[in-house]
Amino acid sequence: QQQVKQSPQSLIVQKGGIPIINCAYENTAFDYFPWYQQFPGKGPALLIAIRPDVSEKKEGRFTISFNKSAKQFSLHIMDSQPGDSATYFCAAGHSGGSNYKLTFGKGTLLTVNP
Amino acid sequence: DTEVTQTPKHLVMGMTNKKSLKCEQHMGHRAMYWYKQKAKKPPELMFVYSYEKLSINESVPSRFSPECPNSSLLNLHLHALQPEDSALYLCASSPRRIQETQYFGPGTRLLVL
């Protein structure tokens, strides 16, 4: 019940395309859903995050869509660029209690071709 | 400044060595984390410190020993490691007690021979 399932495992798009990465969760106690971007040899960087009280959040070219009833959320990258090529991790967390931690998806390797 | 720094960037050690990893943040964050990340895998939580006290230990072997000397500094002491402990070790911090927005450092790439 603590799992976050992420798909696809890898994704190749052309420059300007709109890659979509999907995540699904089971634990209804999760109330915080961040996305991290990680370049090779670097630490993950927080990209954007959403809470269940909104269905969509946009920051620049990155948009999270959230479907509470389906327990799914997804990342869309508008006008993708070769510099967006990285591994993307979704995560989920429960802010209540003292034992808080993030549960990560397995990651999606995105390649944006020029 | 949302920077978490980690030293060293790379570390090679033998199985009998003792070494330490260092993490520093000056954002006034009160929760700090150690993660281990293997290639092509997500980060795995190892330890969480909240207000300089160990709050979570994810059943990590005793050859890994964390230390939080003050609110800005986090160490991970390594002793008698195994080759399978080779990984990227990430430090992260978050603003409050144990809070959601975690900011990661660049990591230390560890190779155990």
Q: Tens of pLDDT along B49-67?
A: 988 999 888 889 999 999 9
Contact across the interface for A99 and B43, Cβ inside 8 Å: no
B100 to chain A: which residues are within 8 Å by CB?
32, 34, 49, 93, 95, 100, 102
Largest separation between any pair of C-alpha atoms in chain B:
38
How confident is the model over B67-75, as a mean pLDDT?
95
Q: What is the CA radius of gyration of chain A?
A: 14
How far is Cα A8 from Cα A41, in angstroms, rounded to an integer?
Answer: 22
| pLDDT at residue B57, as a whole number | 87
> Structure tokens of A111?
């390649």
pLDDT per residue as tens digits for the range B80-111: 999 999 999 999 998 875 557 889 999 999 99
CA-nearest residue to A105 within chain B is B42
Distance from CA of B80 to the nearest CA of A (A): 25
Contact across the interface for B99 and A100, Cβ inside 8 Å: yes
Name the residue facing A99 among B42, B56, B92 (closest C-beta).
B56
**DSSP letter for each residue of chain A:** ---EEEE-SEEEEETT---EEEEEE--TT--BEEEEEE-TTS--EEEEEE-TT-SEEEETTEEEEEETTTTEEEEEETT--GGG-EEEEEEEE--SSS---EEE---EEEEEE-
How many pairs of residues across A and B have Cβ atoms under 8 Å apart? 57
Tally the residues of chain A: 114
Percent of chain A with pLDDT over 70: 94
Distance from CA of A9 to the nearest CA of B (A): 10
pLDDT per residue as tens digits for the range B15-52: 888 999 999 998 999 899 999 999 999 999 999 998 89
Spans in chain A with pLDDT lower than 70? 1-2, 96-100
How far is Cα A95 from Cα B96, in angstroms, rounded to an integer?
Answer: 11
